[in-house]
Amino acid sequence: MLLVNTALTLVNTALTLVNTALALVNIALTFVNTALTLVNTALALVNTALVLVNTALALVNTPLTLVNTALTLVNIALTFVNIALALVNTTLALVNTALTLVNTALTLINTALTFVNTNMLLRKEEKTLYTIFKTVSGRSMGMSMSRDHQIASAQRSILVIQQERIIQEELRRVGYTEGRLESDYAACAAAMVAIERQSAAQLDLARAIEQVRQLRAEAQACYSALASTVRAVFPSEPILHERLRLRGNPSQQKARSAFIARARALYDGLLEQAELLPLLADAGYDQLRLEEERGGIDLLQQAGAAREVAAFRARQATEQQRLALAELASRRSRFRRLAKVALRGNPQALGALGLGR
């Protein structure tokens, strides 16, 4: 019985231990559940933290996105601005081109008008010069033929007298000595020299007249083009225009001296005002071009002076020719009277001397 009781006691003790173990297991499971709950809670907190992180990142990205969007809009706006500026520049370029074409057209018109006016003025001037030229040259057809015939007739008579001793003897009897023959020969030679000098002077005068005409036309065209350019570059400066003598129509300057004075006022006035030169250079008139065209005005004045000298020399040469031919004609007249007396019975000799009927 004792053993049974002991065994039962041991069984009860074992059961107690089993129950205790089960209780401990339950406690352990409770701890496990608690731990799992804590883990789940921690994971929930992690998820919450990640959500917060994502929310924070979203909040950060949103301003950046807005900034990027704004920058994109700014870039688009700047692109439109650049396009607009390009259109403005293109429009301004077209306007400048149009203005350049207008200025070119005006310059061409002014140049054409200048040529017309210059030709009209030069025609009048050349008419006057031609009258002088015709007067000093004495080169009409009839006069030239008369002059040449006079020389040829005198040369023929002198040559025949020198070769025919019989004619010499007959002439000597009426006072036409060898000395008079030599004097007539010298007069004929002097007349020939005077004719050559007059022809050379006439040619020099013709060249001088043509040179003045060409230089005047060139200077007038250059002046007109420059005046038009100055008016276009400085359109609203009446004081400057007055100083440069740009008032009125420059083509109205008929006299060469008046044109030269007006042209010098324009060129010298521009060259003396250095502040005007850059703007004129942009329009194609740099200092070198202005100085070269200004030199053309001096050449025109020099050519005019040379023409006056040539006209004076032509008048002198014409007068000397007139005197030489008059002297020769006087001598021929005296010779003719003597020869007809000396050779009145010898018509063949008179014919040989060019004195026949």
- 242-265 residue pLDDT tens: 888 887 655 555 688 899 999 999
* Domain assignment present for 84: no
Q: Both tokens of residue 228? A: 């038009």
Point out the least confidently predicted range of 45-49, 271-275, 304-308. 45-49
Q: Both tokens of residue 201? A: 């002077």
- Asked whether the beta carbons of 297 and 267 are under 8 A apart, the reply is yes
- Asked whether the beta carbons of 143 and 257 are under 8 A apart, the reply is no
Query: What residue has token string 């003719």?
Result: 336
Q: Both tokens of residue 140? A: 């009409």
- CA atoms of 356 and 340, how far apart (whole Å): 9
The pLDDT tens digits for 26-65 are 887 877 677 677 767 767 776 776 777 677 677 766 666 6
**Burial (0-12, 13-18, 19+ Cβ within 10 Å), 144:** middle
Bigger pLDDT: 47 vs 128 = 47
Cα radius of gyration (the chain): 61
- CA atoms of 83 and 66, how far apart (whole Å): 25
* Domain assignment present for 85: no
Give me the amino acid identity at 283. Answer: A
* Domain assignment present for 128: yes
β strands within the chain, DSSP E: none
For residue 131, pLDDT beyond 70: no
127: domain CATH number?
1.20.1260
Q: Both tokens of residue 31? A: 């701890």
- Asked whether the beta carbons of 250 and 266 are under 8 A apart, the reply is no
* Domain assignment present for 317: yes
Q: Would the pTM count as exceeding 0.75?
A: no
Is 226 strand, coil or helix? helix
Contacts of 20 (CB under 8 A, 6+ apart): none
How many domains would you assign to the chain?
Answer: 1
CA torsion angle for 312, 315, 320, 324 (degrees, to 10)? 170
Task: Print the domain residue range for 195.
Answer: 117-352
DSSP code of 254?
Answer: -
pLDDT at 51: 76
Neighbours of 55 (CB within 10 A): 10
For residue 287, pLDDT beyond 60: yes
The pLDDT tens digits for 54-93 are 776 777 666 666 667 657 665 665 665 565 565 555 545 5
pLDDT at 145: 55
For residue 210, pLDDT beyond 80: yes
pLDDT at 184: 92
